[in-house]
Structure 1
């Protein structure tokens, strides 16, 4: 038995508002990090590409997540694997790939899943 992909529920206003608040928080925090890194006298950014495993499988869910990642300063969604299991993300400053994966999963993907369930 295959699991049915979640469909968007635009009538779930509270979940959408919460997602907006969380995204705006991430936007402000990451913008501050980018500004700080840019204005620092000794910029030592360690940029790279991180493969982020996806729990979202629907086109709408992956699009929403990729858009939020791209709109967050310092990160850009690059590609989704053919089987929709991995999102490749370019990150301006990587402390550890695991931290990037956990941050995207906790701060962006999980709230997006709540909106789309």
Structure 2
């Protein structure tokens, strides 16, 4: 049984024992289960990747929330400021991620961020085509997405 399943089982046991069938009860059970598994980590041998991956997923979620907030303010400022002219365009972002799940996650997170929309992936799955609301410098925009969103997704799966 993998450690995520054990952690989920511990969270469910916590909810049953505390009689708190709520999202906060499940989350607190998951955190307590994670801490218990962290303490018992030497018993699992090579399973340390689970603990690193959970932390990286949390970092990805926090990075996406930050990027979502900042992009929302940037788009709102551009829309509400009279006379603002934006240079939108289609940019090509070379992909370092390889699996279908990684490409899907990068494309969807980019589409969920205001001001950008994933359009297509090339046949060889090496390039992601993106419509960007602020594409004054397409190369810099693509590099920013690579260094940000794609890098964080790639860290989760390595």
User: What TM-score, normalized to structure 2?
Assistant: 0.66
The correspondence for 2:73, drawn from 19, 32, 38, is 32
Flag structure 1 segments of 5+ consecutive residues without an equivalent. Answer: 1-8
Q: What's the CA shift for 1:95?
A: 2.0
Per the alignment, residue 61 of structure 2 pairs with 20
Decide whether the 8 Å contact of 2:115 with 2:132 is kept in 1. yes
Question: What secondary structure is seen at the aligned counterpart in 2 of 1:79?
Answer: strand
- The runs of 4+ residues in structure 1 deviating greater than 6 Å are none
Per the alignment, residue 62 of structure 1 pairs with 103
Decide whether the 8 Å contact of 2:88 with 2:136 is kept in 1. no
The correspondence for 2:125, drawn from 59, 84, 107, is 84
- Higher relative contact order at CA 8 Å, sep ≥6: structure 1 or structure 2? 1
Q: Structure 1, residues 93-114: CA drift from partner, whole Å, max 9, x if none? A: 2120111111101110011001
Question: What secondary structure is seen at the aligned counterpart in 1 of 2:114?
Answer: coil
Flag structure 2 segments of 5+ consecutive residues without an equivalent. Answer: 1-48
Tell me which structure has the larger Cα radius of gyration: 2
Decide whether the 8 Å contact of 2:93 with 2:129 is kept in 1. yes
Q: For this pair of structures, how many residues does the alignment match?
A: 109
Q: Which is helix-richer, 1 or 2?
A: 2
CA RMSD of aligned residues (A): 1.3
Q: Residues 112 and 10 (structure 1 numbering): CA distance in 2 closer, same or farther, change over 3 Å?
A: farther
Q: Structure 1, residues 7-53: CA drift from partner, whole Å, max 9, x if none? A: xx877210100000111111011000000000011120111100000
Question: What secondary structure is seen at the aligned counterpart in 2 of 1:114?
Answer: helix
Question: What secondary structure is seen at the aligned counterpart in 2 of 1:37?
Answer: helix
The correspondence for 2:151, drawn from 89, 110, 117, is 110
Rounded to whole Å, the distance in 1 between the matches of 2:96 and 2:151 is: 9
Per the alignment, residue 43 of structure 2 pairs with none
Q: What's the CA shift for 1:116?
A: 1.0
Question: What secondary structure is seen at the aligned counterpart in 1 of 2:91?
Answer: strand
